[in-house]
Amino acid sequence: MVDYLIIGAFVLIGLVFTAAAVTASNVLSPSAPSKEKGETYECGSTPVGPPWVQFRVGYYVYALLFVVFDIETVFLYPWAVAFGKPGLFILVEMVIFIAILAAGLAYAWKEGALTWR
């Protein structure tokens, strides 16, 4: 039961700290809205064109694939550390993991998601 009390105390302290930080920021920050502050800032030069720009879907597909394989890399690091202890189960598990991701990449490639149009 003591373990739950410690976890509860940490959660409570975290919530109080977050609420205090947000409240202090709202109370102490200066607020003087003006037209200039509401404009889009673009490296000190006058903005050209509308602030809303639509990007092609291809950018999002590449970004999504990057995130998927970036997360794969995050999961490969612990595996590489655990691989110091040789075991067939660990090797088979990682081969299955990489095979699933490779199948996803092959599917995206087959569907033409990687071709730039």
Give yes or no for a contact between 51 and 40, defined as CB atoms under 8 angstroms apart. yes
* Judgement on whether residues 19 and 62 belong to the same structural domain of the protein: no
Domain annotation covers residue 110:
yes
Domain annotation covers residue 12:
yes
Which residue segment(s) compose the domain that 23 sits in? 1-30
Q: Within 13 Å of residue 72, how many CA atoms lie on the same side as its CB? A: 17
Domain annotation covers residue 117:
yes
CATH of the domain at 103: 1.20.58.1610
In 3-state terms the chain splits into helix, strand, coil percentages (rounded to 5) of 70, 0, 30
Domain annotation covers residue 93:
yes
Query: Can you say how many angstroms the Cα of residue 100 is from the centroid of all Cα atoms in its chain?
Result: 21
Number of structural domains (the chain) is 2
Tens-place pLDDT, residues 17-66: 999 999 999 999 888 888 877 777 767 777 677 777 787 777 887 888 88
Domain annotation covers residue 85:
yes
Domain annotation covers residue 23:
yes
Give the pLDDT confidence score for residue 6 in this predicted structure: 94
Tens-place pLDDT, residues 69-104: 888 888 777 777 766 666 787 778 888 888 988 898
* Judgement on whether residues 63 and 115 belong to the same structural domain of the protein: yes
If phi > 0 it is left, if psi is from -120 to 50 it is alpha, else beta; for residue 63 that is: alpha
